Amino acid sequence: MNAMHSEDAVAQDSRAPVVVARRLRKAYKNKVALDGTAFEIPAGRIVGLIGPNGAGKTTALKAMLGLIPFEGELRVLGRDPRSERDELMQDVCFIADVAVLPRWMRVREAIEFVAGVHPRFDRARCERFLANTGLKPQMRVRELSKGMIVQLHLALVMAIDARLLVLDEPTLGLDILYRKQFYQRLLEDYFDEDKTIVVTTHQVEEIEHILTDVMFIRDGRIVLDTPMDVLGERYTEVLVNADHLDAARALKPIDERSLPFGKTVMLFDGNAATGAPSGVTRQQLSELGETRVPGLADLFVAVMKGPYA
């Protein structure tokens, strides 16, 4: 029965959501980490799961990977992570902090280890990638620079033909140069329409340009879930002229902050369901001052500001 179910799951529509979560709940001794969480992750997307410390990001990823028990409904690639984890992990690759490779391990040993644990690892592809670097099979991790460790980790990741790649703070501890290199190579050499990537990070600005979708999580609940191209249509940031402050505030901005020289920036949500007066248009906002699409970091701060001020 399980084998038949697994075959059905693999044969599911490739355009069906990769992850479907409904009423997810996970409570630890003193904290509720997931509180009725619901979301879907479409196939062939790069999704940023972004939230402050303790918001539930890592718990959500662990639930998707079948690493923790939880309540509610969760299907990943058509499978239940609680009862079908072995089958699920044949199509999933999970990478945490790139700095965690054992320092005593040699490059060839890292390759042999991943080849032994992941059925979709392509050793030849890994070695082709490493051939374009300064890495040698006999080198130990402790002898490598941070940049070389990034190259090794990328080679291991990109040689796994997984349908879902889960990255939890993958560049923690690396400086900005190597963080950018990691994401750029991931985008250029790994991602395609048959793969889905879910990534959590605190460096919002650095992944903004590669994301197709974003989910903000706060107190165990998804508070924003939208494609990146919709953000520019829904949200507008206005550098409000001093003589228009009262008029701008009457339109109920979701955030307001002061800049030097008496300037004020307000952020507006064009979704009337959030409380904005119906009929407010980009043209109306442009009459209040200079308008622009907000950066993801500014939007994140605005959405999180109340509870975490």
Q: Which domain does 284 fall in, by range?
A: 229-308
Residue 234 and residue 136 share a domain? no
- Confidence category of residue 203, pLDDT binned at 50, 70, 90: confident
Q: How confident is the model over 256-264, as a mean pLDDT?
A: 85
Q: What is the pLDDT of residues 213-243, one digit of tens each?
A: 999 999 999 999 999 988 888 899 999 988 8
Read off the CATH number of the domain in which 267 is found: 3.30.70
Q: Is the dihedral of CA 79, 12, 225, 290 positive or negative?
A: positive
pTM for the whole thing?
0.83
DSSP reduced 3-state for 51: coil
pLDDT at residue 11 in the model: 41
- Decide if 101 contacts 110 (C-beta within 8 A): yes
Residue 212 and residue 240 share a domain? no
Q: How confident is the model over 270-288, as a mean pLDDT?
A: 68
* pLDDT surpasses 80 at 308: no
pLDDT at residue 182 in the model: 81
* pLDDT surpasses 50 at 3: no
pLDDT at residue 281 in the model: 77
275 φ/ψ sector (left φ>0, alpha ψ -120 to 50, else beta): left
* pLDDT surpasses 80 at 196: yes
Residue 180 and residue 39 share a domain? yes
DSSP reduced 3-state for 231: helix
pLDDT at residue 265 in the model: 93
**Beta-bridge partners for 93:** 165
- Decide if 247 contacts 264 (C-beta within 8 A): no
- Domain boundary among the residues 219, 244, 265 is at 219
Residue 296 and residue 202 share a domain? no
- Decide if 43 contacts 15 (C-beta within 8 A): yes
